């Protein structure tokens, strides 16, 4: 809500949350760094309005959560350049600690710009750990 005030009419936020996903426990604030990155690195660099979509769904024994923006996208050297920030690294470490190899975090460029940050977790907390 704070960022909505900051961006004003330049930000459209959409929530697409499957009711089944609302009862699945997840690490606290696990999406916060992904939302912050979408706003700071993607949408704030756009001159025109942008959108942020947060999705959560349950399927095939997994919870899938996505933070999707239509901002400027990933830099061309994203996967090879050294990282200075700690947000994504922190999310990866927390997921690894709790779920082991059973958790996935991916950052995928959108077809027309923007980024989709996707977390997939097993429904059973001990899976993979």
- By the 8 A CB rule, do 21 and 62 touch? no
- By the 8 A CB rule, do 62 and 123 touch? yes
User: For the domain that residue 17 is a member of, what is the CATH number?
Assistant: 3.30.565.10
Instruction: Give a yes or no: residue 127 inside a domain.
Output: no
Q: Domain range for residue 51?
A: 2-122
* Separation between Cα atoms, residue 58 and residue 19, nearest integer Å: 9
- List, edge to edge, every strand of the sheet that includes 104-109: 11-17, 50-59, 62-69, 115-122, 104-109
Instruction: Give a yes or no: residue 129 inside a domain.
Output: no
**pLDDT tens digits in sequence order for the chain, 129 residues long:** 555 556 667 789 999 999 999 999 999 999 999 999 999 988 888 878 899 999 999 999 999 999 999 998 887 766 655 666 789 999 999 999 999 999 999 999 988 889 999 999 999 755 554
- Rounded to the nearest 5°, which phi and psi values hold at 48? -100, 175
The pTM is what? 0.85
For the chain, the domain total comes to 1
Q: Pairing between strand 11-17 and 50-59?
A: parallel
């Amino acid at each position: 809500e704070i960022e909505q005030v900051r961006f004003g009419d330049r930000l459209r936020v959409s929530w697409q949350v499957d009711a089944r996903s609302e009862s699945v426990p997840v690490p606290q604030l696990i999406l916060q760094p992904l939302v912050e990155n979408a706003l700071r690195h993607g949408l704030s660099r756009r001159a025109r309005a942008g959108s942020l979509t947060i999705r959560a769904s349950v399927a095939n024994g997994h919870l899938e959560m996505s933070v999707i923006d239509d901002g400027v996208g990933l830099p061309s050297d994203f996967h090879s350049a050294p990282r200075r920030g700690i947000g994504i690294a922190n999310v990866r470490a927390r997921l690894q600690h709790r779920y082991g190899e059973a958790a996935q975090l991916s950052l995928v460029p959108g077809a027309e710009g923007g980024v989709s940050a996707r977390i997939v977790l097993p429904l059973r907390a001990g899976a993979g750990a």
